Chains A and B, each alone.
Chain A
Amino acid sequence: SQTIHQWPATLVQPVGSPLSLECTVEGTSNPNLYWYRQAAGRGLQLLFYSVGIGQISSEVPQNLSASRPQDRQFILSSKKLLLSDSGFYLCAWTAGTSYEQFFGPGTRLTVL
């Protein structure tokens, strides 16, 4: 069966520090991968998606970047965090044109 992991579960970082959030998927190959941010009291905003290794599409201009160094690994990064980067970050995957996205447990990021 397929599983999706996110690490870490929670993170508190100072403004201006770097960020690296990791998402890995097991039990499938060549998934589409997605990063979402859920700000407090708001909905989900699609940040990045990837249909293959090294292929990243950005949905909104921002302080963050994404990379996909391996088929089942998706990384969200920042060189210098802003207060506005605080939120709940969710990774998701889907198989090709499948209608269902499967979500990870999320990482709660607090920038102080």
Chain B
Amino acid sequence: GEDVEQSLFLSVREGDSSVINCTYTDSSSTYLYWYKQEPGAGLQLLTYIFSNMDMKQDQRLTVLLNKKDKHLSLRIADTQTGDSAIYFCAEGEESSASKIIFGSGTRLSIRP
């Protein structure tokens, strides 16, 4: 079945870049997502990329997709304390059900 894997923790210094990595198994994925979850809250879509794209940039966020290796990454430039959260990688197909499969989440902590 589908599976999405990501490392559980990442610690970076404030002002540095954060890179969160993810691998997925479903080659028929249409969309790949990054969601952000702040403590005690629901998930918020940060950015997404279509499977026919290699890269997407949105302000401080850069998403890279290596479809051959089924590898997705999220780079956050100039990481700030407000970026502390859990970041979920997810994959989905374009279908009537629009199911999304989530990874376990990477907890990003920022040190001064």
Listed in ascending order, the chain A residues whose CB lies under 8 Å from chain B are 32, 34, 36, 41-44, 46, 49, 51, 57, 90, 92, 94, 96-106, 108
**B45, B94, B96: which contacts A101 (Cβ < 8 A)?**
B45
Contact B42 A99 (CB under 8 A): no
**A41, A44, A106: which contacts B102 (Cβ < 8 A)?**
A44
Residues of chain A within 8 A of B105, CB atoms compared: 42-44
Q: Encode contact with A along B26-48: 1 for CB under 8 Å, 0 otherwise.
A: 00001101000000111111001
B97 to chain A, nearest CB (A): 6
**B8, B98, B99: which contacts A98 (Cβ < 8 A)?**
B98
In the bound assembly, the distance between CA atoms of A41 and B106 in angstroms comes to 10
B28 to chain A, nearest CB (A): 15
Q: Does B95 contact A (CB under 8 A)?
A: yes
| Interface footprint category on B | 20 to 34
Listed in ascending order, the chain B residues whose CB lies under 8 Å from chain A are 8, 30-31, 33, 40-45, 48, 88, 92, 94-105
A12 to chain B, nearest CB (A): 16
Q: Among A32, A41, A98, A99, which residue has the most Cβ atoms of chain B within 10 A?
A: A99
Q: Among B41, B42, B45, B104, which residue has the most Cβ atoms of chain A within 10 A?
A: B42
In the bound assembly, the distance between CA atoms of A65 and B101 in angstroms comes to 20
Residues of chain A within 8 A of B33, CB atoms compared: 99
Contact A49 B101 (CB under 8 A): no
